[in-house]
A and B are shown apart, each in its own frame.
Chain A
Amino acid sequence: MRVYHLFFIPPVACIALLFVGGLLLLVLQSIGIYGALGDNSTLFSAYRYLLSDPTFYSSLLFTTMIALLSTLLATVLGVVSALLLRRYAGRGSIVSLLYQFPISLPHLVIAVCLLLYLTQSGLIARALYAFGLLSEPYQFPALVYDRRGIGIVLVYLFKEIPFIGLIALSALQSLSSDWESVARSLGATPLQTIWHLLVPLIMPAIVPASIIVFAFIFGSYEVPYFLGSSYPSMLSVLGYRYFTDPNIALRPVALALNLIISMVVLGLVTLYRGVVGYWERAR
Protein backbone atom coordinates (compact mmCIF):
# COMPACT_ATOMS: atom_id res chain seq x y z
CA MET A 1 0.00 0.00 0.00
CA ARG A 2 1.59 3.19 -1.19
CA VAL A 3 0.50 6.76 -0.42
CA TYR A 4 -0.25 7.01 -4.13
CA HIS A 5 -3.11 4.58 -3.62
CA LEU A 6 -4.91 7.04 -1.37
CA PHE A 7 -5.79 9.05 -4.46
CA PHE A 8 -8.08 6.24 -5.53
CA ILE A 9 -10.20 6.43 -2.42
CA PRO A 10 -12.34 9.50 -3.22
CA PRO A 11 -13.44 8.43 -6.71
CA VAL A 12 -14.19 4.89 -5.61
CA ALA A 13 -16.11 6.27 -2.66
CA CYS A 14 -18.11 8.46 -5.04
CA ILE A 15 -19.10 5.47 -7.12
CA ALA A 16 -19.97 3.44 -4.06
CA LEU A 17 -22.03 6.29 -2.64
CA LEU A 18 -23.91 7.00 -5.84
CA PHE A 19 -24.56 3.51 -7.13
CA VAL A 20 -24.41 1.18 -4.16
CA GLY A 21 -25.97 3.82 -1.91
CA GLY A 22 -28.60 4.77 -4.47
CA LEU A 23 -29.50 1.17 -5.07
CA LEU A 24 -29.61 0.37 -1.38
CA LEU A 25 -31.95 3.29 -0.79
CA LEU A 26 -34.08 2.07 -3.64
CA VAL A 27 -34.30 -1.46 -2.28
CA LEU A 28 -34.98 -0.37 1.30
CA GLN A 29 -37.65 2.11 0.29
CA SER A 30 -39.38 -0.28 -2.07
CA ILE A 31 -39.56 -2.93 0.64
CA GLY A 32 -40.76 -0.37 3.12
CA ILE A 33 -37.95 -0.44 5.66
CA TYR A 34 -36.92 3.15 5.16
CA GLY A 35 -38.76 6.28 4.10
CA ALA A 36 -42.08 7.96 4.64
CA LEU A 37 -44.99 5.64 4.09
CA GLY A 38 -48.72 5.49 4.45
CA ASP A 39 -50.05 4.34 7.78
CA ASN A 40 -51.20 0.80 7.07
CA SER A 41 -48.20 -0.33 5.06
CA THR A 42 -46.43 -3.54 5.82
CA LEU A 43 -43.20 -4.89 4.39
CA PHE A 44 -43.35 -5.72 0.69
CA SER A 45 -46.81 -4.18 0.38
CA ALA A 46 -45.54 -2.25 -2.65
CA TYR A 47 -44.74 -5.48 -4.45
CA ARG A 48 -48.08 -7.00 -3.53
CA TYR A 49 -49.84 -3.91 -4.81
CA LEU A 50 -47.94 -4.07 -8.06
CA LEU A 51 -48.48 -7.76 -8.64
CA SER A 52 -52.22 -7.41 -8.13
CA ASP A 53 -52.49 -4.38 -10.43
CA PRO A 54 -53.75 -5.24 -13.95
CA THR A 55 -52.21 -2.01 -15.34
CA PHE A 56 -48.81 -3.39 -14.35
CA TYR A 57 -49.26 -6.49 -16.49
CA SER A 58 -50.56 -4.62 -19.51
CA SER A 59 -47.63 -2.19 -19.21
CA LEU A 60 -45.19 -5.07 -18.84
CA LEU A 61 -46.53 -6.67 -22.00
CA PHE A 62 -46.53 -3.38 -23.88
CA THR A 63 -42.98 -2.54 -22.78
CA THR A 64 -41.69 -5.96 -23.75
CA MET A 65 -43.32 -5.77 -27.16
CA ILE A 66 -41.94 -2.29 -27.88
CA ALA A 67 -38.44 -3.20 -26.72
CA LEU A 68 -38.41 -6.50 -28.60
CA LEU A 69 -39.75 -5.05 -31.82
CA SER A 70 -37.36 -2.08 -31.76
CA THR A 71 -34.39 -4.30 -30.96
CA LEU A 72 -35.13 -6.87 -33.65
CA LEU A 73 -35.72 -4.29 -36.37
CA ALA A 74 -32.70 -2.23 -35.33
CA THR A 75 -30.47 -5.31 -35.33
CA VAL A 76 -31.56 -6.52 -38.77
CA LEU A 77 -31.46 -3.10 -40.38
CA GLY A 78 -28.24 -2.17 -38.57
CA VAL A 79 -26.43 -5.26 -39.85
CA VAL A 80 -27.78 -4.82 -43.38
CA SER A 81 -26.73 -1.19 -43.49
CA ALA A 82 -23.30 -2.08 -42.11
CA LEU A 83 -22.84 -4.67 -44.86
CA LEU A 84 -23.81 -2.10 -47.47
CA LEU A 85 -21.57 0.57 -45.99
CA ARG A 86 -18.62 -1.79 -45.83
CA ARG A 87 -19.10 -2.73 -49.45
CA TYR A 88 -19.66 0.72 -50.86
CA ALA A 89 -18.14 3.24 -48.49
CA GLY A 90 -14.75 3.37 -46.87
CA ARG A 91 -13.97 3.50 -43.20
CA GLY A 92 -14.03 7.05 -41.95
CA SER A 93 -15.69 8.22 -45.16
CA ILE A 94 -18.12 11.07 -44.86
CA VAL A 95 -21.05 8.76 -45.53
CA SER A 96 -20.27 6.54 -42.62
CA LEU A 97 -19.76 9.60 -40.42
CA LEU A 98 -23.16 10.95 -41.43
CA TYR A 99 -24.61 7.52 -40.90
CA GLN A 100 -23.39 7.54 -37.30
CA PHE A 101 -24.62 11.05 -36.64
CA PRO A 102 -28.03 10.15 -35.13
CA ILE A 103 -26.24 8.21 -32.36
CA SER A 104 -25.14 11.48 -30.85
CA LEU A 105 -28.53 13.21 -31.13
CA PRO A 106 -30.71 13.24 -28.01
CA HIS A 107 -33.71 10.90 -28.24
CA LEU A 108 -36.13 13.72 -27.63
CA VAL A 109 -34.67 15.75 -30.48
CA ILE A 110 -35.33 12.86 -32.85
CA ALA A 111 -38.80 12.49 -31.35
CA VAL A 112 -39.55 16.14 -32.12
CA CYS A 113 -38.23 15.79 -35.69
CA LEU A 114 -40.39 12.75 -36.31
CA LEU A 115 -43.39 14.40 -34.65
CA LEU A 116 -43.38 17.02 -37.42
CA TYR A 117 -43.86 14.20 -39.94
CA LEU A 118 -46.06 11.72 -38.17
CA THR A 119 -49.02 13.58 -36.68
CA GLN A 120 -52.30 13.32 -38.51
CA SER A 121 -51.71 16.79 -39.89
CA GLY A 122 -47.96 16.27 -40.23
CA LEU A 123 -45.84 16.50 -43.34
CA ILE A 124 -46.56 12.98 -44.53
CA ALA A 125 -50.30 13.54 -44.24
CA ARG A 126 -49.91 16.84 -46.10
CA ALA A 127 -47.93 15.17 -48.86
CA LEU A 128 -50.65 12.52 -49.21
CA TYR A 129 -53.21 15.31 -49.38
CA ALA A 130 -51.21 16.99 -52.12
CA PHE A 131 -51.37 13.73 -54.09
CA GLY A 132 -55.10 13.52 -53.42
CA LEU A 133 -54.76 10.36 -51.33
CA LEU A 134 -56.62 11.80 -48.37
CA SER A 135 -58.86 14.77 -47.79
CA GLU A 136 -59.07 14.99 -43.99
CA PRO A 137 -56.37 14.60 -41.35
CA TYR A 138 -58.23 11.83 -39.53
CA GLN A 139 -57.87 9.56 -42.55
CA PHE A 140 -54.15 9.37 -41.83
CA PRO A 141 -53.31 6.54 -39.41
CA ALA A 142 -52.43 7.47 -35.85
CA LEU A 143 -48.67 7.04 -35.60
CA VAL A 144 -47.93 9.16 -32.54
CA TYR A 145 -49.77 9.25 -29.22
CA ASP A 146 -51.15 5.92 -30.43
CA ARG A 147 -51.96 2.79 -28.50
CA ARG A 148 -49.61 0.64 -30.53
CA GLY A 149 -46.54 2.74 -29.83
CA ILE A 150 -45.50 3.07 -33.47
CA GLY A 151 -44.00 6.52 -32.97
CA ILE A 152 -41.95 5.26 -30.04
CA VAL A 153 -40.52 2.37 -32.07
CA LEU A 154 -39.64 4.69 -34.97
CA VAL A 155 -37.66 7.04 -32.73
CA TYR A 156 -35.72 4.15 -31.25
CA LEU A 157 -34.98 2.78 -34.70
CA PHE A 158 -33.52 6.11 -35.75
CA LYS A 159 -31.01 5.99 -32.91
CA GLU A 160 -30.34 2.29 -32.56
CA ILE A 161 -29.88 1.27 -36.22
CA PRO A 162 -26.67 3.33 -36.48
CA PHE A 163 -25.58 2.08 -33.05
CA ILE A 164 -25.85 -1.58 -34.08
CA GLY A 165 -24.51 -0.64 -37.51
CA LEU A 166 -21.41 0.97 -36.02
CA ILE A 167 -20.65 -2.11 -33.96
CA ALA A 168 -21.32 -4.45 -36.88
CA LEU A 169 -19.16 -2.29 -39.11
CA SER A 170 -16.15 -2.39 -36.83
CA ALA A 171 -16.61 -6.12 -36.30
CA LEU A 172 -16.69 -6.57 -40.07
CA GLN A 173 -13.60 -4.46 -40.53
CA SER A 174 -11.63 -6.57 -38.14
CA LEU A 175 -12.27 -9.61 -40.35
CA SER A 176 -9.72 -10.47 -42.94
CA SER A 177 -11.04 -10.17 -46.45
CA ASP A 178 -9.36 -13.49 -47.27
CA TRP A 179 -12.37 -15.27 -45.82
CA GLU A 180 -14.60 -13.83 -48.45
CA SER A 181 -12.27 -14.53 -51.36
CA VAL A 182 -11.98 -18.16 -50.25
CA ALA A 183 -15.74 -18.45 -50.04
CA ARG A 184 -16.14 -16.86 -53.44
CA SER A 185 -13.53 -19.08 -55.04
CA LEU A 186 -15.41 -22.07 -53.67
CA GLY A 187 -18.43 -20.86 -55.63
CA ALA A 188 -20.53 -19.16 -52.93
CA THR A 189 -22.88 -16.42 -54.12
CA PRO A 190 -22.53 -13.05 -52.39
CA LEU A 191 -25.70 -13.68 -50.40
CA GLN A 192 -24.44 -17.10 -49.31
CA THR A 193 -21.15 -15.52 -48.29
CA ILE A 194 -22.95 -12.98 -46.17
CA TRP A 195 -25.41 -15.37 -44.59
CA HIS A 196 -23.10 -18.36 -43.94
CA LEU A 197 -19.85 -16.56 -43.35
CA LEU A 198 -20.06 -12.90 -42.36
CA VAL A 199 -23.18 -12.97 -40.19
CA PRO A 200 -21.97 -15.83 -37.96
CA LEU A 201 -18.58 -14.16 -37.64
CA ILE A 202 -19.97 -10.87 -36.39
CA MET A 203 -22.64 -12.45 -34.16
CA PRO A 204 -20.47 -12.30 -31.01
CA ALA A 205 -20.33 -8.52 -31.42
CA ILE A 206 -23.96 -8.04 -32.44
CA VAL A 207 -25.74 -10.05 -29.74
CA PRO A 208 -24.35 -8.08 -26.79
CA ALA A 209 -25.08 -4.84 -28.61
CA SER A 210 -28.68 -5.94 -29.13
CA ILE A 211 -28.97 -6.82 -25.47
CA ILE A 212 -27.69 -3.36 -24.55
CA VAL A 213 -30.28 -1.84 -26.88
CA PHE A 214 -33.07 -3.98 -25.42
CA ALA A 215 -32.03 -3.11 -21.88
CA PHE A 216 -31.90 0.57 -22.69
CA ILE A 217 -35.31 0.68 -24.37
CA PHE A 218 -36.88 -1.47 -21.67
CA GLY A 219 -36.02 1.08 -19.00
CA SER A 220 -36.11 4.31 -20.96
CA TYR A 221 -38.63 6.92 -20.08
CA GLU A 222 -38.46 10.05 -22.15
CA VAL A 223 -39.63 8.96 -25.59
CA PRO A 224 -42.72 7.03 -24.40
CA TYR A 225 -43.55 9.92 -22.09
CA PHE A 226 -43.44 12.34 -25.01
CA LEU A 227 -44.91 10.25 -27.83
CA GLY A 228 -46.92 7.58 -26.01
CA SER A 229 -50.67 7.39 -25.55
CA SER A 230 -52.52 7.68 -22.28
CA TYR A 231 -53.07 3.93 -22.18
CA PRO A 232 -51.26 1.56 -22.23
CA SER A 233 -48.08 3.20 -20.98
CA MET A 234 -44.59 1.78 -20.74
CA LEU A 235 -43.42 0.55 -17.33
CA SER A 236 -41.06 3.46 -16.78
CA VAL A 237 -43.84 5.99 -17.45
CA LEU A 238 -46.15 4.08 -15.12
CA GLY A 239 -43.40 4.16 -12.48
CA TYR A 240 -42.90 7.88 -12.79
CA ARG A 241 -46.64 8.44 -12.56
CA TYR A 242 -46.72 6.44 -9.33
CA PHE A 243 -43.72 8.36 -8.01
CA THR A 244 -45.31 11.76 -8.55
CA ASP A 245 -48.76 10.70 -7.34
CA PRO A 246 -50.01 12.81 -4.42
CA ASN A 247 -50.60 9.59 -2.55
CA ILE A 248 -47.06 9.06 -1.32
CA ALA A 249 -47.90 5.51 -0.32
CA LEU A 250 -47.46 4.88 -4.05
CA ARG A 251 -43.82 5.98 -3.97
CA PRO A 252 -42.53 2.61 -2.79
CA VAL A 253 -44.59 1.09 -5.60
CA ALA A 254 -42.80 3.31 -8.11
CA LEU A 255 -39.44 2.28 -6.67
CA ALA A 256 -40.42 -1.38 -6.67
CA LEU A 257 -41.41 -1.05 -10.29
CA ASN A 258 -38.06 0.46 -11.20
CA LEU A 259 -36.27 -2.25 -9.31
CA ILE A 260 -38.22 -4.85 -11.27
CA ILE A 261 -37.21 -3.18 -14.53
CA SER A 262 -33.56 -3.29 -13.48
CA MET A 263 -33.84 -6.89 -12.37
CA VAL A 264 -35.33 -7.94 -15.70
CA VAL A 265 -32.43 -6.30 -17.50
CA LEU A 266 -29.82 -7.74 -15.14
CA GLY A 267 -31.41 -11.18 -15.40
CA LEU A 268 -31.30 -11.02 -19.15
CA VAL A 269 -27.61 -10.16 -19.23
CA THR A 270 -26.73 -12.79 -16.65
CA LEU A 271 -28.61 -15.36 -18.69
CA TYR A 272 -26.75 -14.31 -21.82
CA ARG A 273 -23.37 -14.49 -20.14
CA GLY A 274 -24.24 -17.86 -18.67
CA VAL A 275 -25.17 -19.21 -22.09
CA VAL A 276 -22.03 -17.82 -23.68
CA GLY A 277 -19.88 -19.22 -20.90
CA TYR A 278 -21.48 -22.64 -21.22
CA TRP A 279 -21.02 -22.53 -24.95
CA GLU A 280 -17.35 -21.67 -24.73
CA ARG A 281 -16.67 -24.34 -22.17
CA ALA A 282 -18.50 -26.88 -24.32
CA ARG A 283 -16.30 -26.12 -27.29
Chain B
Amino acid sequence: MSRFYRIVIWAITLHILLLLVIPLILWTISFRWHFPALLPTHYSLRAWQAIFDPTKQIGVALLNSLGIACAVTVINLLIGLPVVRMLQRIKIAHRWVSDLIVLFPLLITPLAIVLGLYSALSSLNIVNNALAIIVAHVVASLPYMIIILRAIFTNFDRRYEEVAASLGASPFQVAYQVTLSLLAPAILVSSLFVFLISWSQYLSTLLMGGGRLITLPLLMISYAAAGDYPLMSVVTLIQFMPPLILLVINAFYLSGRSYGIERAFAL
Protein backbone atom coordinates (compact mmCIF):
# COMPACT_ATOMS: atom_id res chain seq x y z
CA MET B 1 0.00 0.00 0.00
CA SER B 2 2.62 2.49 1.01
CA ARG B 3 4.60 1.47 -2.05
CA PHE B 4 1.60 2.35 -4.16
CA TYR B 5 1.36 5.81 -2.60
CA ARG B 6 5.07 6.27 -3.04
CA ILE B 7 4.73 5.63 -6.73
CA VAL B 8 1.71 7.93 -6.97
CA ILE B 9 3.57 10.77 -5.30
CA TRP B 10 6.55 10.22 -7.55
CA ALA B 11 4.36 10.26 -10.60
CA ILE B 12 2.48 13.40 -9.61
CA THR B 13 5.62 15.36 -8.80
CA LEU B 14 7.46 14.25 -11.88
CA HIS B 15 4.51 14.86 -14.13
CA ILE B 16 3.91 18.34 -12.89
CA LEU B 17 7.48 19.19 -13.84
CA LEU B 18 7.32 17.40 -17.17
CA LEU B 19 4.01 19.04 -17.94
CA LEU B 20 5.67 22.41 -17.38
CA VAL B 21 8.55 21.67 -19.70
CA ILE B 22 7.20 19.49 -22.51
CA PRO B 23 4.91 22.10 -24.13
CA LEU B 24 7.79 24.58 -24.00
CA ILE B 25 10.06 22.17 -25.84
CA LEU B 26 7.37 21.45 -28.42
CA TRP B 27 6.76 25.14 -29.01
CA THR B 28 10.47 25.75 -29.58
CA ILE B 29 10.51 23.34 -32.51
CA SER B 30 7.09 24.17 -33.91
CA PHE B 31 6.46 26.10 -37.09
CA ARG B 32 2.69 25.82 -37.48
CA TRP B 33 0.67 24.86 -34.45
CA HIS B 34 -2.87 26.13 -34.63
CA PHE B 35 -5.94 25.16 -32.68
CA PRO B 36 -7.06 22.35 -32.42
CA ALA B 37 -3.85 20.40 -33.23
CA LEU B 38 -2.48 18.62 -30.17
CA LEU B 39 0.98 18.48 -31.72
CA PRO B 40 2.68 20.95 -34.06
CA THR B 41 1.75 20.33 -37.68
CA HIS B 42 5.05 21.66 -39.02
CA TYR B 43 8.43 21.78 -37.36
CA SER B 44 11.31 24.22 -37.59
CA LEU B 45 14.54 24.94 -35.74
CA ARG B 46 14.11 28.70 -36.19
CA ALA B 47 13.81 29.33 -32.45
CA TRP B 48 16.96 27.40 -31.55
CA GLN B 49 18.93 29.05 -34.32
CA ALA B 50 17.78 32.39 -32.94
CA ILE B 51 19.95 31.82 -29.86
CA PHE B 52 23.03 32.25 -32.02
CA ASP B 53 21.55 35.02 -34.15
CA PRO B 54 23.11 38.30 -33.01
CA THR B 55 20.10 40.31 -34.21
CA LYS B 56 17.76 38.41 -31.89
CA GLN B 57 19.57 39.61 -28.75
CA ILE B 58 19.10 36.31 -26.90
CA GLY B 59 22.85 35.89 -26.33
CA VAL B 60 23.22 39.46 -25.14
CA ALA B 61 20.22 39.09 -22.84
CA LEU B 62 21.69 35.91 -21.36
CA LEU B 63 25.02 37.60 -20.67
CA ASN B 64 23.27 40.65 -19.21
CA SER B 65 21.08 38.51 -16.98
CA LEU B 66 24.05 36.46 -15.76
CA GLY B 67 26.33 39.46 -15.30
CA ILE B 68 23.75 41.45 -13.35
CA ALA B 69 22.83 38.46 -11.18
CA CYS B 70 26.51 37.73 -10.39
CA ALA B 71 27.23 41.35 -9.55
CA VAL B 72 24.13 41.50 -7.37
CA THR B 73 25.18 38.32 -5.55
CA VAL B 74 28.68 39.59 -4.86
CA ILE B 75 27.40 42.95 -3.60
CA ASN B 76 24.88 41.15 -1.42
CA LEU B 77 27.64 39.06 0.15
CA LEU B 78 29.82 42.13 0.70
CA ILE B 79 26.99 43.90 2.51
CA GLY B 80 25.22 40.93 4.03
CA LEU B 81 28.10 39.07 5.69
CA PRO B 82 29.42 41.97 7.81
CA VAL B 83 25.92 43.07 8.74
CA VAL B 84 24.91 39.63 9.89
CA ARG B 85 28.11 39.24 11.92
CA MET B 86 27.32 42.55 13.50
CA LEU B 87 23.75 41.51 14.24
CA GLN B 88 25.09 38.47 16.06
CA ARG B 89 26.87 40.67 18.54
CA ILE B 90 23.72 42.51 19.52
CA LYS B 91 22.70 41.64 23.05
CA ILE B 92 19.55 39.56 23.49
CA ALA B 93 17.87 42.51 25.21
CA HIS B 94 18.28 44.57 22.05
CA ARG B 95 17.03 41.88 19.72
CA TRP B 96 14.26 44.14 18.46
CA VAL B 97 16.91 46.25 16.71
CA SER B 98 18.09 43.26 14.79
CA ASP B 99 14.53 42.20 14.08
CA LEU B 100 13.79 45.63 12.73
CA ILE B 101 16.81 45.62 10.45
CA VAL B 102 15.99 42.14 9.20
CA LEU B 103 12.24 42.21 8.88
CA PHE B 104 11.44 45.75 7.94
CA PRO B 105 12.97 45.75 4.42
CA LEU B 106 11.40 42.36 3.75
CA LEU B 107 7.93 43.68 4.39
CA ILE B 108 8.16 46.90 2.42
CA THR B 109 7.36 45.91 -1.14
CA PRO B 110 10.55 46.21 -3.18
CA LEU B 111 8.68 48.09 -5.90
CA ALA B 112 7.86 50.85 -3.41
CA ILE B 113 11.52 51.44 -2.59
CA VAL B 114 12.56 51.12 -6.22
CA LEU B 115 10.04 53.77 -7.24
CA GLY B 116 11.25 56.00 -4.41
CA LEU B 117 14.86 55.57 -5.49
CA TYR B 118 14.05 55.99 -9.17
CA SER B 119 13.05 59.62 -8.86
CA ALA B 120 16.15 60.43 -6.85
CA LEU B 121 18.48 58.57 -9.19
CA SER B 122 16.90 60.09 -12.28
CA SER B 123 17.36 63.60 -10.97
CA LEU B 124 21.04 62.70 -10.50
CA ASN B 125 21.11 61.36 -14.08
CA ILE B 126 22.15 57.86 -13.07
CA VAL B 127 19.27 55.85 -14.46
CA ASN B 128 19.07 53.92 -17.74
CA ASN B 129 22.23 51.95 -17.08
CA ALA B 130 23.49 48.71 -15.58
CA LEU B 131 24.37 50.30 -12.25
CA ALA B 132 20.82 51.50 -11.61
CA ILE B 133 19.49 48.03 -12.43
CA ILE B 134 21.96 46.44 -10.03
CA VAL B 135 20.95 48.83 -7.25
CA ALA B 136 17.29 47.95 -7.77
CA HIS B 137 18.04 44.22 -7.71
CA VAL B 138 20.08 44.59 -4.54
CA VAL B 139 17.12 46.34 -2.94
CA ALA B 140 14.90 43.43 -3.90
CA SER B 141 17.30 40.72 -2.73
CA LEU B 142 19.27 42.06 0.24
CA PRO B 143 16.50 41.47 2.80
CA TYR B 144 16.44 37.80 1.82
CA MET B 145 20.23 37.56 1.98
CA ILE B 146 20.27 38.92 5.48
CA ILE B 147 17.36 36.91 6.78
CA ILE B 148 18.74 33.63 5.44
CA LEU B 149 22.31 34.30 6.55
CA ARG B 150 21.10 35.24 10.01
CA ALA B 151 19.06 32.07 10.39
CA ILE B 152 21.96 29.89 9.35
CA PHE B 153 24.53 31.86 11.33
CA THR B 154 22.80 31.07 14.58
CA ASN B 155 24.45 27.64 14.28
CA PHE B 156 27.87 29.19 13.98
CA ASP B 157 29.79 29.21 17.19
CA ARG B 158 32.48 31.92 17.28
CA ARG B 159 34.47 29.93 19.78
CA TYR B 160 35.78 27.75 16.93
CA GLU B 161 37.64 30.77 15.65
CA GLU B 162 39.02 31.57 19.08
CA VAL B 163 40.19 28.01 19.60
CA ALA B 164 41.90 27.94 16.22
CA ALA B 165 43.59 31.27 16.91
CA SER B 166 44.74 30.16 20.34
CA LEU B 167 46.23 27.05 18.75
CA GLY B 168 48.43 29.36 16.70
CA ALA B 169 46.56 29.67 13.41
CA SER B 170 47.22 32.86 11.48
CA PRO B 171 44.24 35.19 10.86
CA PHE B 172 44.20 34.02 7.24
CA GLN B 173 44.16 30.38 8.27
CA VAL B 174 41.36 31.06 10.70
CA ALA B 175 39.35 32.86 8.05
CA TYR B 176 39.91 30.24 5.35
CA GLN B 177 39.99 26.97 7.22
CA VAL B 178 37.60 27.67 10.06
CA THR B 179 35.24 30.53 9.29
CA LEU B 180 34.81 29.98 5.56
CA SER B 181 34.69 26.23 5.91
CA LEU B 182 31.96 26.36 8.54
CA LEU B 183 29.98 29.05 6.81
CA ALA B 184 30.34 27.70 3.28
CA PRO B 185 26.92 26.05 3.12
CA ALA B 186 25.26 29.20 4.46
CA ILE B 187 27.05 31.37 1.93
CA LEU B 188 26.23 29.00 -0.88
CA VAL B 189 22.55 28.72 -0.03
CA SER B 190 22.01 32.42 0.42
CA SER B 191 24.03 33.29 -2.70
CA LEU B 192 22.01 30.96 -4.88
CA PHE B 193 18.81 32.37 -3.44
CA VAL B 194 19.88 35.93 -4.15
CA PHE B 195 21.13 35.01 -7.61
CA LEU B 196 17.69 33.64 -8.43
CA ILE B 197 15.93 36.75 -7.17
CA SER B 198 17.98 38.92 -9.49
CA TRP B 199 17.54 36.35 -12.27
CA SER B 200 13.76 36.66 -12.08
CA GLN B 201 13.42 40.45 -11.87
CA TYR B 202 11.39 42.06 -14.61
CA LEU B 203 9.85 45.35 -13.64
CA SER B 204 12.78 46.89 -11.78
CA THR B 205 15.04 46.04 -14.73
CA LEU B 206 12.64 47.68 -17.15
CA LEU B 207 12.22 50.80 -15.03
CA MET B 208 15.83 51.36 -14.01
CA GLY B 209 17.33 50.32 -17.34
CA GLY B 210 14.94 52.42 -19.41
CA GLY B 211 14.76 49.42 -21.75
CA ARG B 212 18.35 50.02 -22.82
CA LEU B 213 19.66 46.86 -21.23
CA ILE B 214 17.75 43.78 -22.24
CA THR B 215 17.60 40.74 -19.97
CA LEU B 216 15.98 37.33 -20.43
CA PRO B 217 12.72 38.14 -18.60
CA LEU B 218 12.37 41.32 -20.67
CA LEU B 219 12.92 39.39 -23.86
CA MET B 220 10.52 36.66 -22.78
CA ILE B 221 7.72 39.12 -22.10
CA SER B 222 8.33 41.02 -25.32
CA TYR B 223 8.12 37.77 -27.35
CA ALA B 224 5.00 36.84 -25.43
CA ALA B 225 3.48 40.21 -26.25
CA ALA B 226 4.42 39.76 -29.90
CA GLY B 227 2.77 36.33 -29.87
CA ASP B 228 5.98 34.64 -30.99
CA TYR B 229 5.57 31.48 -28.93
CA PRO B 230 8.59 29.58 -30.34
CA LEU B 231 11.05 32.32 -29.36
CA MET B 232 9.24 32.95 -26.08
CA SER B 233 9.59 29.26 -25.24
CA VAL B 234 13.29 29.18 -26.02
CA VAL B 235 13.95 32.14 -23.75
CA THR B 236 11.80 30.56 -21.05
CA LEU B 237 13.72 27.29 -21.26
CA ILE B 238 17.03 29.12 -20.88
CA GLN B 239 15.68 30.56 -17.65
CA PHE B 240 15.22 27.05 -16.27
CA MET B 241 19.00 26.56 -16.19
CA PRO B 242 20.04 28.20 -12.90
CA PRO B 243 17.15 26.64 -10.94
CA LEU B 244 18.20 23.26 -12.37
CA ILE B 245 21.81 23.85 -11.33
CA LEU B 246 20.53 24.78 -7.89
CA LEU B 247 18.61 21.50 -7.81
CA VAL B 248 21.75 19.54 -8.63
CA ILE B 249 23.88 21.39 -6.09
CA ASN B 250 21.17 20.89 -3.53
CA ALA B 251 20.97 17.16 -4.27
CA PHE B 252 24.66 16.36 -4.37
CA TYR B 253 26.39 19.01 -2.39
CA LEU B 254 23.99 20.08 0.31
CA SER B 255 22.47 16.56 0.27
CA GLY B 256 18.98 17.98 0.24
CA ARG B 257 19.30 19.83 3.50
CA SER B 258 17.80 23.27 3.40
CA TYR B 259 20.17 24.63 6.05
CA GLY B 260 17.44 26.51 7.81
CA ILE B 261 15.97 28.58 5.02
CA GLU B 262 12.58 27.66 6.38
CA ARG B 263 13.58 28.90 9.82
CA ALA B 264 14.55 32.20 8.23
CA PHE B 265 10.94 33.01 7.52
CA ALA B 266 9.67 32.50 11.04
CA LEU B 267 8.38 35.90 12.04
Contact = CB atoms under 8 A, between A and B. Distances in A.
Contacts of A29: 116, 119
A46 interface: no
Given A15-B79, A22-B116, A110-B20, A219 B247 contact: no
Interface centre among B19, B36, B139, B221 (most CB of A within 10 A): B36
Given A12-B86, A18-B117, A222 B202 contact: yes
A252 to B, nearest CB: 10
Interface of B: 2, 5-6, 9-10, 13-14, 17, 19-21, 23-24, 27, 34-38, 78-80, 82-83, 85-86, 101, 103-105, 107-117, 119-120, 135, 138-139, 142, 192, 196, 199-200, 202-203, 217, 220-221, 224, 229, 232-233, 236, 239-240, 242-243, 246-247, 250-251, 255-258, 261-263, 265-267
A101 interface: yes
Contact of B109 (A12, A15, A204, A258): A258
Interface string A213-233: 001001111100110000000
A193 B109 CA distance: 39
Task: Report the 4 A-B pairs with minimum CB-CB distance, sorted nearest first.
Answer: A92-B256, A106-B200, A219-B109, A26-B116
A67 interface: no
Contacts of A87: 2, 5
A141 B200 CA distance: 29
Nearest to A12: B83
A85 B220 CA distance: 34
A255 B115 contact: yes
19 contacts: A11-B82, A11-B83, A15-B83, A15-B142, A25-B119, A85-B9, A92-B255, A104-B242, A104-B246, A108-B200, A108-B220, A109-B239, A116-B23, A116-B229, A208-B265, A219-B111, A243-B115, A258-B109, A269-B107
B35 A126 contact: yes
- Per DSSP, are chain A's interface residues mostly helix, strand or loop, or mixed? helix
B146 to A, nearest CB: 8
A208 B99 CA distance: 14
Interface of A: 7-8, 11-12, 14-15, 18-19, 21-26, 29, 35, 84-85, 87-89, 91-101, 104-110, 112-113, 115-117, 121, 123, 125-127, 129-130, 137, 166-167, 170-171, 204-205, 208-209, 211-212, 215, 218-222, 225-226, 236, 239-240, 243, 251, 254-255, 258-259, 261-262, 265-266, 269, 272-273
Nearest to A259: B112
Given A88-B2, A113-B24, A261-B112, A19 B105 contact: yes
Contact of A101 (B80, B85, B217, B247): B247
A112 B220 contact: yes
Contacts, number: 220
A275 to B, nearest CB: 11
B200 A107 contact: yes
B68 to A, nearest CB: 14
Nearest to B192: A104
Given A87-B5, A116-B23, A22 B107 contact: no
Contacts of B229: 116
B9 A95 contact: yes
Contact of B200 (A15, A109, A266, A273): A109
